[in-house]
Chain A
Amino acid sequence: MSAELGQIFLILALVLAALLSVLPLVGAQRGNEALMKLAPSLAIGQFVFLAGAFAALAIAFLQHDFTITYVAMHSNLLLPWYYRVTAVWGSHEGSLLLWMLLLGGWTLAVAAFSRSVPRAFTARVLAVMGMISAGFLLFILFTSNPFERILPGPIDGRDLNPLLQDVGMIFHPPLLYMGYVGFAVAFAFAIAGLIGGKVERDWVRWSRPWTLAAWAFLTFGIALGSWWAYYELGWGGWWFWDPVENASFIPWLIGTALIHSQAVTEKRGAFPAWTVLLSIAAFSMSLLGTFLVRSGVLTSVHAFANDPERGLFILAFMGVVTGGALVLYALRAPRIMTGEGFDWVSRESALLLNNVFFTVSAAMVLLGTLYPLIIDFMGWGQISVGPPYFGAMFILLMTPVVLLLPLGPFTRWKRDEFTRILKPLVATAVVSVIAALLVCAWLGTWSLRAVSGWVGGIWLVAGAVTYAVRTSRASRSGLARHQWGMVLAHAGAGVFLIGAAMVEAHTFERDVRIAPGETIEAAGYRFTLHEVALVKGPNWRADEARFSIYRGEREVARMNPQKRFYHRGGQTMTQVALKPGVFRDLYIAMGEELGDSGAWSVRLHVKPFVRWIWGGAVLIGLGGLLAASDRRYRQRQRATQPGGARAEATA
Chain B
Amino acid sequence: MIGIQGSGFGFRSRLRAILALLGVVWLAAGALASAIEPYPFESEVQRKRFQALAEELRCTVCQNQSLADSDAPLASDLRDEVFRMLSDGRSDMEIRSFMVERYGNYVLYRPPVVGHTLLLWGGPLVLLLVGLVAAVFVIRKRRKAL
Contacts and interface: CB of A to CB of B under 8 A. Distances in A.
Direct contact of A and B (CB under 8 A): yes
B49 interface: no
A386 B56 contact: yes
Interface stretch (A192-200, A464-472, A587-595, A629-637): A587-595
B56 A305 contact: no
Contacts of B111: 371, 383-385, 389
A393 B124 contact: yes
Interface in A366-417: 367-368, 371, 374-375, 378, 380-389, 393, 397, 414-415
B16 A601 contact: no
A302 B2 contact: yes
Given A235-B69, A302-B63, A513-B38, A225 B25 contact: yes
B34 A574 contact: yes
A387 to B, nearest CB: 6
A601 B40 CA distance: 13
A382 B106 contact: yes
Contact of B23 (A74, A294, A363, A513): A294
A511 B144 CA distance: 64
Contacts of A381: 104-105, 116
B128 A360 contact: yes
Contact-residue bracket for chain A: 35 or more
A69 interface: no
Interface stretch (A108-116, A168-176, A436-444, A487-495): A168-176
Contacts of B124: 360-361, 363-364, 367, 393, 397
Interface string A286-312: 000110011010011111110000000
Given A301-B63, A384-B58, A387-B109, A163 B27 contact: yes
Contacts of B62: 301-302
B90 to A, nearest CB: 20
A35 interface: no
A248 B1 contact: no
A512 B106 contact: no
B34 A293 contact: no
A563 B64 contact: no
B20 A601 contact: no
A348 interface: yes
A381 B115 CA distance: 12
A572 interface: yes
A302 B13 contact: yes
B143 interface: yes
Contact of A382 (B26, B29, B105, B144): B105
Interface in B13-53: 13-27, 29, 31-39, 51
Contacts of A648: none
A289 B62 CA distance: 22
Interface string A260-290: 0000000000110000000000000000011
A95 B4 CA distance: 29
B6 interface: no
Contacts of B21: 91-92, 95, 293-294, 305
B102 interface: no
A143 interface: no
A411 B81 CA distance: 57
A603 interface: yes
Nearest to A343: B143
B145 interface: yes
A356 B27 contact: no
B36 A601 contact: yes
Interface in B57-86: 58, 60-64, 66, 68-69
A243 interface: yes
A569 B32 CA distance: 12
Interface stretch (A127-135, A207-215, A226-234, A614-622): A226-234
A270 B61 contact: no
Contacts of B139: 342-344, 348-349, 352
B112 to A, nearest CB: 9
Q: Which of B9, B11, B33, B142 has the most CB of A within 10 A?
A: B142
B32 to A, nearest CB: 5
A148 interface: no
A589 B31 CA distance: 12
Interface in A81-136: 89-92, 95
A507 to B, nearest CB: 10
Contacts of B24: 169, 172-173, 176, 225, 228, 244
Contact of B128 (A172, A234, A356, A384): A356
A238 B108 CA distance: 21
A585 interface: no
A234 B16 contact: no
B60 A301 contact: yes
A341 interface: yes
Nearest to B68: A235
A91 B14 CA distance: 11
A165 to B, nearest CB: 12
A511 B37 contact: yes
B17 A304 contact: yes
A384 B4 contact: no
Q: Which of B21, B62, B108 has the most CB of A within 10 A?
A: B21
A507 B40 CA distance: 20
A571 B109 contact: no
A188 to B, nearest CB: 22
Interface in A324-379: 338, 340-344, 348-349, 352-353, 356-357, 359-361, 363-364, 367-368, 371, 374-375, 378
Contact of B36 (A237, A240, A352, A590): A590
6 contacts: A91-B21, A226-B25, A293-B21, A301-B63, A591-B34, A591-B35
Given A303-B20, A342-B142, A386-B56, 16 more contacts: A163-B32, A173-B23, A229-B25, A271-B138, A293-B20, A304-B13, A341-B142, A349-B135, A349-B139, A353-B135, A363-B124, A363-B127, A371-B111, A384-B58, A386-B58, A574-B32
Interface of A: 74, 89-92, 95, 161-164, 169, 172-173, 176-177, 225-226, 228-229, 232-235, 237, 240, 242-245, 247-248, 270-271, 289-290, 293-294, 296, 299-305, 338, 340-344, 348-349, 352-353, 356-357, 359-361, 363-364, 367-368, 371, 374-375, 378, 380-389, 393, 397, 414-415, 509-513, 563, 569-574, 589-592, 601-603
Interface of B: 1-2, 4, 8-9, 11, 13-27, 29, 31-39, 51, 55-56, 58, 60-64, 66, 68-69, 104-111, 116-117, 119-121, 123-124, 127-128, 131-132, 134-135, 138-139, 142-146
Q: Which 7 residue pairs spanning A and B have beta carbons closest together? A: A386-B109, A591-B36, A341-B145, A305-B17, A388-B110, A92-B21, A304-B13
